[in-house]
């Protein structure tokens, strides 16, 4: 085994890691950083050609028990490759569920603490959106790009419900920028053919190619070396070879399945390590419309309805974010001349992190996900949203509501190394530093204390920028 010394080792190169590193490098002088990535460097063109974001299949990366699938990309850039570019902020009440509704937990970080970092993350990703959304998510800066064109049903809804229905905010460009083209609503965002969506290749290469950074590819971090409460480095496997790197700070951003697996293999354990893995409960629902044509919007999904999101129901039923799809997700209608009289929706309902849904490791050290079920709170949240559906969309001529079934996964892994103050109930502190190994920072959605219905990656990015500021100030 060879050994090399660094100031910082960053494990993984997805959202959590790259946004941390971007701010950390900007605020540091002559530091030496090792960026250790399990996957390969495969450009978006190669990914499109192979119709795969990763050269590594997920069953090589983790085992699944319980019949539910989980999805992520192992490769340079991590989830920036496969993601579809939805960038909602969380709502202020998402961060204070215990004090507002008496359920779940309050985050040790509040909306106002994150707000400037949300703006910075939106600027880096060149997010398109409509200022009107500040009605429910206060904003100190305008969106970098204007919103996408709404579809006809969206326009009717936005006019009828200006307090709850808004154009999506998204890292799919609404107009050409210096390094991206405008989105053309092709709806294949994991393999965007026109380079409209933010990813590591069009937005983070300055970080990855920074001369202070040594990049290790096809390098699977097996464990974090530590002496008592001090992390001393990592051991990674590259082919049949093992290599050891030493550093003063280790940043763990290997996603919410692999990060806990690394901690478990390293014997850095707290009672909640790996426990509480969750994502939103999601359903596809279609509104059959009388005489309103759809699918004339400017990007793959165009509108959000927040009418079943925040409110008193959250005391006993999860919040639901309703996403309006601008493509024939459930097929065109078959009746003559009525092909586009359809409004496909995705309903995303928050879940509760539950101990029995967890990451462990096999005897051989492979990550293993055990999933029992979504919580009754999430199921009640979906029922609550469905019970309001007619009322929420009463501005449209809805002739039928069809539930197309539960979705296998929302592709969001969260909450397996939660942030909090009590080491018995959480794994990292308010910055992301491990409760016992104090020079080990965890980034990414594993540290979320709760699982709101909104997509996670903008919040991951904002939290990483904030952690880098706090560690360098």
Helix residue ranges per DSSP H, 235-354: 255-265
The H-or-E segment that residue 436 falls in is none
**For ligand FAD, which is the closer residue by CB, 36 or 428?**
36
Does the protein bind ligand SF4 through residue 328 (CB under 6 A)? no
| Angle ∠(459,465,466) on CA atoms, nearest 5 | 90
Does the protein bind ligand FAD through residue 411 (CB under 6 A)? yes
- For the CB of residue 325, give the shortest distance to ligand SF4 in the complex, in Å: 11
- For the CB of residue 464, give the shortest distance to ligand FAD in the complex, in Å: 8
Does the protein bind ligand FAD through residue 16 (CB under 6 A)? yes
**For ligand SF4, which is the closer residue by CB, 325 or 351?**
325
Pick the stretch among 66-74, 244-252, 292-300, 321-329 that binds ligand FAD (CB under 6 A).
66-74
Kindly tell me which residue out of 82, 125, 168, 183 binds ligand SF4, with binding defined by CB under 6 A: 183
Does the protein bind ligand FAD through residue 221 (CB under 6 A)? yes
Q: What, of ligand SF4, ligand FAD, none, does residue 368 touch, CB below 5 to 8 Å by kind?
A: none
Does the protein bind ligand SF4 through residue 198 (CB under 6 A)? no
Binding residues for ligand FAD restricted to 134-193, rule: CB under 6 A: 190
Pick the stretch among 13-21, 112-120, 123-131, 306-314 that binds ligand FAD (CB under 6 A).
13-21
Taken as a whole, the chain contains a residue count of 473
What is the gyration radius of the CA atoms in the chain, in angstroms? 22
Kindly tell me which residue out of 189, 204, 419, 443 binds ligand SF4, with binding defined by CB under 6 A: 189
**CB burial of residue 362 (10 Å; 0-12, 13-18, 19+):** exposed
Pick the stretch among 158-166, 302-310, 316-324, 450-458 that binds ligand FAD (CB under 6 A).
450-458
Assess contact for 305 and 164: CB atoms under 8 A: yes
Binding residues for ligand SF4 restricted to 292-311, rule: CB under 6 A: 299-300
Q: What, of ligand FAD, ligand SF4, none, does residue 449 touch, CB below 5 to 8 Å by kind?
A: none
**For ligand SF4, which is the closer residue by CB, 167 or 432?**
167
Does the protein bind ligand SF4 through residue 346 (CB under 6 A)? no
- Asked whether the CA dihedral 129, 133, 138, 142 is positive or negative, the reply is positive
How many helices (H) and strands (E) the chain has is answered by 12, 18
Binding residues for ligand SF4 restricted to 31-90, rule: CB under 6 A: 85
Kindly provide the b/e burial profile for residues 185-205, where b requires at least 16 CB atoms within 10 angstroms of the residue's own CB: bebebbbbeebbbbbbbbbbe
3-state secondary structure of 64: strand
Kindly tell me which residue out of 105, 120, 154, 220 binds ligand FAD, with binding defined by CB under 6 A: 220
> Residue holding tokens 């919410």?
256
Does the protein bind ligand FAD through residue 11 (CB under 6 A)? yes
Kindly tell me which residue out of 6, 20, 24, 38 binds ligand FAD, with binding defined by CB under 6 A: 38
What DSSP character marks residue 142?
Answer: -
The contact mask relative to ligand FAD for 222-261 (x = CB under 6 A, - = no) is: -------------------------------xxxx-x---
Pick the stretch among 74-82, 141-149, 329-337, 395-403 that binds ligand FAD (CB under 6 A).
74-82
Provide the angle, in degrees to the nearest 10, between the axes of the packed helices 111-125 and 457-472: 110
**For ligand FAD, which is the closer residue by CB, 156 or 442?**
442
Q: What, of ligand SF4, ligand FAD, none, does residue 125 touch, CB below 5 to 8 Å by kind?
A: none
Pick the stretch among 23-31, 72-80, 306-314, 341-349 that binds ligand FAD (CB under 6 A).
72-80
Report the C-alpha gap between 98 and 102 in whole angstroms.
Answer: 4
Strands (E), 239-311: 241-246, 249-252, 281-289, 301-305
Comparing CA positions, the residue from 119, 117, 171 lying closest to residue 142 is 119
Comparing CA positions, the residue from 437, 439, 435 lying closest to residue 447 is 435
Does the protein bind ligand FAD through residue 199 (CB under 6 A)? no
Kindly provide the b/e burial profile for residues 9-40, where b requires at least 16 CB atoms within 10 angstroms of the residue's own CB: bbbbbbbbbbbbbbbbbeebeebebbbbbbbe
Tokens matching residue 473:
């100030």
Comparing CA positions, the residue from 260, 384, 265, 267 lying closest to residue 319 is 384
Kindly tell me which residue out of 85, 153, 420, 449 binds ligand FAD, with binding defined by CB under 6 A: 85
3-state secondary structure of 54: coil
- State the residues that interact with ligand FAD by CB under 6 A: 11-16, 36-39, 71-72, 74-75, 78-79, 82-86, 190, 220-221, 253-256, 258, 262, 411-412, 444-445, 455-457, 460
């Amino acid at each position: 085994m060879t050994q090399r010394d660094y100031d910082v080792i960053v494990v993984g190169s997805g959202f959590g890691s790259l946004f941390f590193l971007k701010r950390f490098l900007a605020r540091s002088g002559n530091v030496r950083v090792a960026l250790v990535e399990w996957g390969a460097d495969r450009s978006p063109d190669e990914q499109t050609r192979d119709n795969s974001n990763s050269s590594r299949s997920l069953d090589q990366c983790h085992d699944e028990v319980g019949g539910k699938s989980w999805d992520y990309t192992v490769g340079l850039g991590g989830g920036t490759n496969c993601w579809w570019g939805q960038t909602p902020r969380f709502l202020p009440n998402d961060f204070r569920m215990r004090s507002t509704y008496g359920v779940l937990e309050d985050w040790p970080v509040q909306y106002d603490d994150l707000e400037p970092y949300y703006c910075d993350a939106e600027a880096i990703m060149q997010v398109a959106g409509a200022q009107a959304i500040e009605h429910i998510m206060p904003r100190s800066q305008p969106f970098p790009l204007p919103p996408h064109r709404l579809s006809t049903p969206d326009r009717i809804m936005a006019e009828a419900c200006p307090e709850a229905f808004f154009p999506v905010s998204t890292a799919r460009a609404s107009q050409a920028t210096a390094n991206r083209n405008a989105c053309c609503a092709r709806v294949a965002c994991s393999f965007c053919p026109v380079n409209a969506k933010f990813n590591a290749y069009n937005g983070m290469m300055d970080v990855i190619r920074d001369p202070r950074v040594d990049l290790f590819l096809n390098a699977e971090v097996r464990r974090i070396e530590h002496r008592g409460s001090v992390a001393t480095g990592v051991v990674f496997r590259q082919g049949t070879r093992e290599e050891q790197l030493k550093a003063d700070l280790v940043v763990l951003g290997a996603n919410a399945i692999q990060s806990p697996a690394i901690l478990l293999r390293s014997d850095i354990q707290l009672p909640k390590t790996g426990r509480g893995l969750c994502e939103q409960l999601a359903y596809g629902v279609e509104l059959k419309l009388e005489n309103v044509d759809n699918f004339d919007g400017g990007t793959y999904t165009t509108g959000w309805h927040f009418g079943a999101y925040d409110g008193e129901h959250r005391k006993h039923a999860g919040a639901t974010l309703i996403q309006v799809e601008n493509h024939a997700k459930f097929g065109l209608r078959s009746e003559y001349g009525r092909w586009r009289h359809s409004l496909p929706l995705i309903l995303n309902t928050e879940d509760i992190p539950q101990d029995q849904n967890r990451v462990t490791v096999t005897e051989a050290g492979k990550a293993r996900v055990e999933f029992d079920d979504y919580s009754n709170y999430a199921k009640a949240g979906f029922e609550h949203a469905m019970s309001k559906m007619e009322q929420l969309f009463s501005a449209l001529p809805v002739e039928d509501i069809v539930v197309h079934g539960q979705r296998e996964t929302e592709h969001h892994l969260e909450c397996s190394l939660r942030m909090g103050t009590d080491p018995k109930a959480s794994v990292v502190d308010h910055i992301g530093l491990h409760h016992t190994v104090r020079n080990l920072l965890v980034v990414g959605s594993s540290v979320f204390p709760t699982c709101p219905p909104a997509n996670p990656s903008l919040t991951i990015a904002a939290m990483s920028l904030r952690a880098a500021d706090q560690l360098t100030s």
